[in-house]
């Protein structure tokens, strides 16, 4: 049985790790959110979260979004390619309910899985 934990090794923690993803990302986005990805050589996917106060003023709203993204990533981690992913929240994300946000994330993860299977030029 596969472990579905979200351990420390699955997180992007240092600013340099985020910067590497922002330099040459593969993008999958909707008007409310973007998931950037960049291949890593670790054989595991890792996740970093950015939810700015500019888009969600209250901490409990930012925490709700991050909790849903972490849960979605945790459940998909064994299907995802070995890459560093950065979730970026945009304006309007606070208006989405949990089910809608989860469905959007499912579509974006599927897009990243397809992008990883394409040969890079």
Q: What is the CATH classification number for the domain harbouring 65? A: 3.30.230.10
Q: How far apart are CA 111 and CA 16, in angstroms?
A: 25
Q: How far apart are CA 36 and CA 22, in angstroms?
A: 7
On whether residue 4 sits in a domain, the answer given is: no
Quick check: 55 and 94 in contact, CB under 8 A? yes
On whether residue 5 sits in a domain, the answer given is: no
Residue 37 reports pLDDT greater than 60? yes
Residue 101 reports pLDDT greater than 90? yes
Residue 11 reports pLDDT greater than 80? yes
pLDDT digits (tens, 9 = 90+) for 52-75: 999 999 999 999 999 999 999 999
- Domain span holding position 54: 12-117
On whether residue 3 sits in a domain, the answer given is: no
On whether residue 1 sits in a domain, the answer given is: no
Average pLDDT, rounded, for the chain:
93
* Angle between helical axes of 98-117 and 59-76 (0-180°, round to 10): 40
Residue 117 reports pLDDT greater than 90? no
On whether residue 86 sits in a domain, the answer given is: yes
Specify the pLDDT at position 118: 78
């Amino acid at each position: 049985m596969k472990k579905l934990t979200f351990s420390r090794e699955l997180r992007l923690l240092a600013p340099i790790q985020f910067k590497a993803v922002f330099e040459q990302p593969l993008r999958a986005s909707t008007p409310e959110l973007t998931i950037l990805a960049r291949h890593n050589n670790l054989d595991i996917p890792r996740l970093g979260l950015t939810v700015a106060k500019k888009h969600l003023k209250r901490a409990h709203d930012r925490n709700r979004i991050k909790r849903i993204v972490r849960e979605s990533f945790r459940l998909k981690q064994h299907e995802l390619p070995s890459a560093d992913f950065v979730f970026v929240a945009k304006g309007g994300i606070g208006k989405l309910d949990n089910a809608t946000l989860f469905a959007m994330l499912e579509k974006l993860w599927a897009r990243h899985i397809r992008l990883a299977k394409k040969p890079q030029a």
